[in-house]
Amino acid sequence: MIIALLVLCWIGATADALRYNPVSREVVEARLGKYTGANKQREATLKQMFAEAGCDDRQLSEQPVKGSKLPNVICLLPGNSDRVIIVGAHFDRVSEGDGVVDNWSGASLLPSLYEAVKTEPHKHTYIFIGFTDEEQGEVGSRFYARQMTKEQVAATDAMVNMDTLGLGSTEVWASHSDKRLASALAYLAKQLSFPIAAVNVEQVGSSDAEQFSERKIPRITIHSLTQETWNARILHTSKDKLSVMRLDDYYQTYRLLAAYIAFLDQFAGAPAVPVTH
Ligand SMILES: [Zn+2]
């Protein structure tokens, strides 16, 4: 309750000033449609989409990952302070199905989220990361989180992880998310009249954000699973195809996340002390 009130208090002064530029639904769906190929192809496609979104050679890199044949794909958007927000999603897939829901739905949003915030002034440096080999045990995210220096960990105010979007409206894995980050998303969704729900998915196992939690970095995982879609056994089966994606919900999730990462620039890392009015 205290956390929620602090969020409300803080947002009151700033929600009107939120500035971001979401890309069109056509762009989001065109990127989603490029899920084809094995992981190697998807890694190359993600890098290409970042480049087309304007992340140039100075800011776009491939990070070799020990234990994986493929690198993490990293696009850096410098800010004007030393604070950092990480936005991540795994691009790899299992061999069954097309791996659209799990997790091209998350990975292919990264360039569109980059575009949403790149032209507006921002304090935080955003690091957009496509992780390799989540399905092999969070190999890419583990490597990334463990190679961070103490200083980098201390500078990171939030890690936003997207895994398995578009099966329905936006969900938060609340039991595995920082309460302050989850409260902020819930409040923003309400302000924008977008649906949001807390759905815990312990049965799924884990996701990349947990590696950042190990370093005590505040993290949040966004997904779209419900008991119903879990029971339908879409993940890691031949049912994971573009045709199961609910594209209205998917674009709405993108819009909400674009607003959210813009909002986090103001909110994340702000002292959790109420302003005296
Ligand atoms: Zn996944």
- Is residue 192 a contact partner of residue 149, using CB atoms and an 8 Å limit? no
| Residue 223 CA, ligand 1 centroid: distance in Å | 9
Assess contact for 182 and 123: CB atoms under 8 A: no
Q: Is 129 helix (H, G, I), strand (E, B) or coil?
A: strand
- Residue 138 Cα to ligand 1 middle (Å): 9
55 touches 75 (CB < 8 A)? yes
Which residues keep their CB under 5 angstroms from ion ligand 1?
A: 102-103, 163
Reading the chain (277 residues) residue by residue, the pLDDT tens digits are 344 444 444 554 455 578 999 999 999 999 999 999 999 999 999 999 999 999 999 999 999 999 999 999 999 999 999 999 999 999 999 999 999 999 999 999 999 999 999 999 999 999 999 999 999 999 999 999 999 999 999 999 999 999 999 999 999 999 999 999 999 999 999 999 999 999 998 877 789 999 999 999 999 999 999 988 998 999 999 999 999 999 999 999 999 999 999 999 998 877 654 444 3
Cα of 277 from ligand 1 centre, angstroms: 44
Backbone angles phi, psi at 35, to 5 degrees: -80, -10
Residues in the chain: 277
Distance 15 CA to ligand 1 centre (A): 32
Cα 164 to middle of ligand 1, angstroms:
6
Peptide bond into 80 cis (omega under 30): no
Q: What is the pTM of this model?
A: 0.92
